[in-house]
Structure 1
Amino acid sequence: MLPARPKYAEFNEAIDMKNPHFKIGMKFRDFKQFKEAVKNYGVKNRYVMNFRPNTKTRCKAYCSKGCPFYLWASPMVRDGATVQIKSGVLKHECGKEHKNRHASAKWIAKTYMEQFRADPSWKLAGIIQAVKTNQQVEITRLTAYRAKNIALREIDGDEETQMTKLYDYRLELLKTHPGSTIKFRRNQGVFEAMYVCLAPLRNGFLAGCRRIICVDGCFLKGLYGGQLLTAVGIDANNLIYPVAWSVVDRENRENWVWFLQLLA
């Protein structure tokens, strides 16, 4: 009988990525997962790691300070897609780092995504302190600022991409709310304004609200800015009842007339 093939540990991204521990023979899904694990290891243990050579067929991760630590990874013979640590020295003989390039803006955004989701207004000083406390790594205000932008873009979506889908959004609203009024205004193909009055809200106002409409405008924060014009009513419980709203480039007489004419 042939000897049984040795069983090698498999890297579990859901469990091991926060605090990676490496073994000779450990298997990874691909080189991308291997390098991400090495970077996380560097941040967690305060080492700066380099990769060379770094190709599609082999990758060596080693300590930037020149100590003996290294990991040599390449695809498995039987399964070309799976990457395995073939050899290495797993102990460092150098000191810790307080500045670590692996703690990049992208890494911080991914690591602290839930904190950004819970508090989108998280201050830069708080981000810097969290990284310093949890990872013992110092980052700049610029890195914290970029990390916050990356996280908020992931949470809120890319505004440029969303703007290209406005017509799809209009069709979806008309499909799910038949009888609604949704208008666009463009100037030589450039978006200027959008008006939305959903049929259920309009019918509900006419059926059960006082015949009073209040209008107001406010600034929009984001890549494109602009103004939000709104028309609201008062329901039977003296609560605000939305009737219609519009996104315009600026608050002026022309845009208010356009909004009120559609509202009427």
Structure 2
Amino acid sequence: MGDPQLQIGMKFRDFDQFKAAVRNYGIKNRYVMNFRPNDSTRCKAICTRGCPFYLWASLMTRGVSTVQIKSGHLKHECAKEHKNRHVNAMWIARKYMEQLRADPSWKLSGIMQAVKLNQNVEISRLTAYRAKSIALREIDGDEATQMASLYDYRLELLKTHPGSTVKFRCDDGIFEAMYVCLAPLRAGFLSGCRRVICVDGCFLKGVYGGQLLSAVGVDANNCSYPMAWAVVNKENKYNWSWFLQLLGEDLNIENSHGWAFVSDRQKV
């Protein structure tokens, strides 16, 4: 599909695969293709420059989705294109998905240069931005979809880490906070870490925002040891009290004797 060699008699799974192959052929050879007519039983690919090139494809038999190229003229008599509308944001995102997965900070100028060198097509900065956004959304996941799967996430954590504490707090069905303390981390802290707990919070960037509250210990090698964290709607006394109360129940802290808490405090 990266460099299809189209021939009369070729078969495709369906019309979508046929049109994808024609688009890839156009991108590879720097031609822009149109599909007319284009319906559920037939599809004709033609060159936008009006040259004799065409491919006529239709269903092999009625009731079967397999598509075959029945006839065509496979030679172009027009000049090649330097701008190709088939090289859109969705196509670029799929083409360079793995590069963006390896380097999410890939600059827009780098994407534009890669498309120009590899495809001989110039794209705008806006197209590169949209392609990167689509790819990162596919890699990281959509935030709305992830928020809708929080209860499934809780069940999966309890299944894979028995004895863990995963709690939600809602107000009239609206999500407000989530607390997580995994059983292996809790057991490791109680059995081999010093009785020192560092607490802090930071902003969360994204559609929903909020704050991330965390509690981190110190192990025998003076390294950070995460214990528990919570996602809350905002940083205030009520949310900190809720977080520390659950942390105290998990660590069996009945009084402050023998424990040290460290916080940056700042202005509050």
Same structural fold, with TM-score higher than 0.5 when normalized by the shorter chain? yes
Task: Name the counterpart of 2:80.
Answer: 96
Matches for 1:189-200 after TM superposition, within 5 Å: 189-200=173-184
Aligned to 2:70, the other structure's residue is in SS state strand
Instruction: Verify: 1:158 aligned to 2:142, yes or no.
Output: yes
CA deviation map 1:120-166 (0-9, x unaligned): 11111111111111111111122111111111121112221111111
Residue 235 of structure 2: aligned partner: 251
Does residue 38 of the first structure (1) align with residue 38 of the second (2)?
no
Tell whether 2:219 aligns with 1:224. Answer: no
Which structure 1 residue ranges, 5 or more long, are not aligned? 1-16
Aligned residue pairs, count: 248
Could you say what secondary structure the match of 1:94 adopts? coil
Rounded Cα–Cα distance in structure 2 between residues aligned with 1:56 and 1:71: 16
Output the CA distance in 2 between the equivalents of 1:252 and 1:126: 42
* Moved beyond 3 Å, runs of 4+: none
- Aligned equivalents of 2:113, 2:206: Cα separation in 1: 26
1: CA distance between counterparts of 2:114 and 2:183? 47
Letter matched to residue 157 of structure 1:
G
TM-score (norm 1): 0.90
What SS does the aligned partner of 2:31 have? coil
Q: CA deviation at 1:225?
A: 2.1
Match of 1:54 in 2: 38
SS in 2 for 1:218: strand
Q: How far, CA to CA, are the matches of 2:133 and 2:140 in structure 1?
A: 10
Is the counterpart of residue 66 in structure 1 residue 50 in structure 2? yes
Partner of 1:120: 104
TM-score by length of 2: 0.89
Long gaps (5+) in structure 2: 249-268
What CA RMSD, in Å, does the superposition of the two structures yield over aligned residues?
1.4
SS at match of 2:200: strand
Query: What SS is found at the alignment partner of 2:196?
Result: coil
Per-residue deviation at 1:253? 2.6
1:216-256, Cα deviation, whole Å (9 max, x unpaired) = 22222332222211111111122111100011122233222
Q: Deviations over 1:51-96 (max 9, x none)?
A: 0000110000000110111110011138832111111111111111
Deviation of 1:186 after TM superposition, in Å, equals: 1.4
State the SS of the aligned residue for 1:137. coil
2:244 aligned with 1:260: yes
3-state SS, counterpart of residue 105 of structure 2: coil
- How many percent identity over aligned positions? 77
| Cα pair distance change 1:36/1:212, threshold 3 Å | same
- Correspondence for 1:169 among 144, 153, 160: 153
The CA distance in 2 between the partners of 1:126 and 1:248, in whole Å, is: 37
Residue 126 (structure 2) aligns with: 142
Q: In structure 2, what is the Cα distance between the partners aligned to 1:21 and 1:215?
A: 61
Question: What is aligned with 1:3?
Answer: none
CA distance in 2 between counterparts of 1:130 and 1:250 reads 42
Letter of the 2:126 counterpart = L
DSSP 3-state at the match of 1:161: helix
Instruction: Confirm whether residue 237 of structure 1 aligns to residue 221 of structure 2.
Output: yes
CA distance, structure 2, for counterparts of residue 19 and residue 92 of structure 1:
17
Aligned AA (1:218) = C
> Aligned with 1:120: secondary structure?
coil
